[in-house]
Amino acid sequence: MRVLVTGGAGYIGSAVLRVLLAEGHEVVVLDNLVTGHRRAVPAAIAFVHADTRDTSTVRQALRDHRVEAVVHLAAISQVGTSVRHPRDYFDNNVRGSLALLDAMLAEGVGRLVFSSTAAVYGDPDTCPIDETAPTRPKSPYGDSKRFVETVLARYGEAYGLQHTSLRYFNAAGAFPDAGEDHRPETHLIPLVLAAAAGKGPPVTLFGEDYPTPDGTCVRDYVHVADLARAHALALAAPAPGAIYTLGSGGGHTVREVLEAAERVTGRPVPVVRGARREGDPATLVASSARIGRELGWAPRAAGLEDILASAWAWLQAAPDGYPD
């Protein structure tokens, strides 16, 4: 299948394109490189330097490369920043998605896999979280993704658009030649590994009095390669319009991540103690039972140390990230 990957120069997008290539798909990447990296895309891959809001350029790319399906990952995704700058998030994530859909409809491309987020659930009533949980986003970022899901459902009804949405929490880990390089970095695992390597500040423990085994928050981590496989499976989903929640099958406390990182790296991780952050739930763990039943997906790198080891190998190979 000929697939356009929007946001393919980003962390998760660059993983998705590698899995699609390995499975024999023809891949085209479209990215504005605001947060992505050109070096994350193999040189042999067709690359379109454009924004999804540029409908004419997107249409041209769909036409020139005879695209049959789109995997849509292009978005900005920091929850805290979205609270301070909601306009940016609605403009980029919502308007950009609407423009992309306009281009797809105009060029007769009728299949889309949407990279959504488990942030649409807000503070869940129960864990693990599955697709039946109410959606109550607590941030403009979560709002923007939930709105696009609604648009996709309406476009499916009105125009026959086939679509599948994937909701997940924390992507982690790396490929040997592609990993996390956010500037600034906000994700726990790369921050922990940077601290262990002496390339970053101490890790802050935001609260140690949560109702969890060691008092620190529990979060769900899924290897980015496993998330990429889920996107590939969703391209051929038997139930277009489906929404799937992805999880590792369990969660880990922040302290467990720190301890595992020390075992993997053989180095201490410096830590400082801080107060709780407002709005941080004690536990966020997702259930992947439905996608397991319907698409046969299950995480292959379920172990936390496997995830950390791959991220550590990437950091050792590219200590300063991508050279761009």
Summarize pLDDT for 58-93 with one digit per residue, the tens. Answer: 999 999 999 999 999 999 988 888 889 999 999 999
Distance CA 186, CA 140 (A): 17
Q: What is the pTM of this model?
A: 0.95
141 in catalytic set = yes
To 10 degrees, what angle do helices 254-265 and 188-196 make? 40
Fold of 2-172+221-246: Rossmann fold (3.40.50)
CA distances from 130 to 183, 224, 241 (A): 31, 20, 16
Task: Quote the pLDDT of residue 79.
Answer: 83
Q: Which one of 11, 89, 141, 155 is the catalytic residue?
A: 141
Q: How many CB atoms lie within 10 A of CB 33?
A: 16
Q: For 209-239, what is each residue's pLDDT tens digit?
A: 999 999 999 999 999 999 999 999 999 887 8
Gap between the Cα atoms of 315 and 178, Å rounded? 10
Q: Nearest-CA neighbor of 234 among 163, 324, 141?
A: 163
**Share above pLDDT 90 across residues of the chain, in percent, rounded to a whole number:** 87
Q: Output the CATH code of domain 188-219+250-317.
A: 3.90.25.10
| Segment 93-126, tens digit of pLDDT | 999 999 999 999 999 999 999 999 999 999 888 8
The share of the chain scoring above pLDDT 70, in percent, equals 99
* pLDDT of amino acid 220: 94
Domain boundaries, the chain: 2-172+221-246, 188-219+250-317
